[in-house]
Amino acid sequence: MTMSSPLRVVAIQQHCTPDKQESLATSERLIRQAAQEGAQLVVLQELHATQYFCQTEDTSIFELAEPIPGPTSNRLSQIAGELGIVLVGSIFERRMNGVYHNTAVVFERDGSLVGIYRKMHIPDDPGFYEKFYFTPGDATFNDGASGFSPIQTSVGKLGVLVCWDQWYPEAARLMALAGADMLIYPTAIGWDMNDDEAERSRQLEAWVTVQRGHAVANNLPVIAPNRIGTEPDPSGSSDGIRFWGNSFICGPQGEFLARADDTTEQVLVADIDTQRSESVRRIWPYLRDRRIDAYGDILKRVRD
- pLDDT tens per residue across span 209-243: 999 999 999 999 999 999 999 999 998 888 999 99
Q: Which residue of the set 46, 66, 93, 108 is catalytic?
A: 46
| Residue pair 124/101 in contact by the 8 Å Cβ criterion | no
Catalytic residue of the set 93, 108, 130, 163: 163
Look at residue 304 in the predicted model and tell me its pLDDT: 80
Nearest partner of 43 among 58, 60, 56, 27, judged by Cα: 27
What pLDDT, on a 0 to 100 scale, did the predictor assign at position 141?
A: 58
pLDDT at position 303 = 86
Write down the catalytic residue from 66, 108, 119, 250.
Answer: 119
Could you give phi then psi for residue 56, rounded to 5 degrees? -145, 165
119 labelled catalytic: yes
Q: Would you say 175 and 159 are in contact if contact means Cβ atoms under 8 Å apart?
A: yes
Domain range list for the chain: 7-299
- The answer to whether residue 131 is catalytic is no
Q: Please give the mean pLDDT across all residues of the chain.
A: 95
**What's the pLDDT score for residue 74?**
98
Per-residue confidence (pLDDT) for residue 231, from 0 to 100: 96
Annotation says 157 is catalytic: no
Measured in degrees and rounded to the nearest 5, phi and psi for residue 243 equal -75, 135
Cα–Cα–Cα angle for 120, 122, 128, rounded to 5 degrees:
150
Helices (H), 163-284: 169-177, 197-218, 276-283
DSSP-based three-state secondary structure for 187 = strand
Pair 183, 104: CB distance under 8 Å: no
pLDDT digits (tens, 9 = 90+) for 204-218: 999 999 999 999 999
Burial of 282 (0-12, 13-18, 19+ CB in 10 A): exposed
Q: pLDDT means per 10 residues in the chain (304 residues)?
A: 78 97 98 98 98 96 97 98 98 97 97 96 95 89 72 97 98 97 98 95 98 98 98 90 98 98 97 96 96 94 88
Cβ–Cβ under 8 Å, residues 175 and 108: no
**Residue 88: CA atoms inside 13 Å, Cβ hemisphere, count?**
38
* CATH code matching the domain that covers 7-299, chosen among 2.130.10.10, 3.60.110.10, 3.30.70.20, 3.20.20.70: 3.60.110.10
The pLDDT value given to residue 5: 78
